[in-house]
Amino acid sequence: MRANRKPKSCRPPRIPMIPKEILEIVERGQILISGVVGIDDYCPCAVRIRTAKGILEIAGTALTLCWAGEKRLLLKGNLEQVCFLLK
């Protein structure tokens, strides 16, 4: 004899995990990064940013660090490439 189970439709839906690292890119001219742990390297053509899950590399031209604080960072410039490197 089978135990009475709730039909699948009665189970609450699974809510996806919200990542700690979130990127918001605006018209390839600025990028807001959340979940920043530190900055490894910075120059006008490339930035290496440490996050809890790895390294984020951003390449472009005229990259300027506009704001940093509260584990967030805002870069402006001509964004050409964003690359994720796992730990």
Residue owning tokens 């964004």 = 79
Q: Is 43 part of a structural domain of the chain?
A: yes
Report the domain count for the chain: 1
The mean pLDDT of 26-44, rounded to a whole number, is 93
For residue 55, what are the domain limits? 19-86
Q: Which pLDDT value is given to residue 21?
A: 74
pTM over cut 0.85: no
Q: Cα 43 to the chain's mean position, in Å?
A: 20
- pLDDT of 42 over the 80 cut: yes
CATH number at residue 72: 2.60.40.2000
Q: What is the largest CA-CA distance in the chain?
A: 70
Q: Is 14 part of a structural domain of the chain?
A: no
Q: Which pLDDT value is given to residue 17?
A: 58
Residue ranges in the chain assigned as alpha helix (H):
none
Q: Is 46 part of a structural domain of the chain?
A: yes
Query: If pLDDT is split at 50, 70 and 90, which confidence band does 11 have?
Result: low
Cα separation of 87 and 83, whole Å? 13
Q: Which pLDDT value is given to residue 2?
A: 58
Which residue would you say has higher pLDDT here, 62 or 17?
A: 62
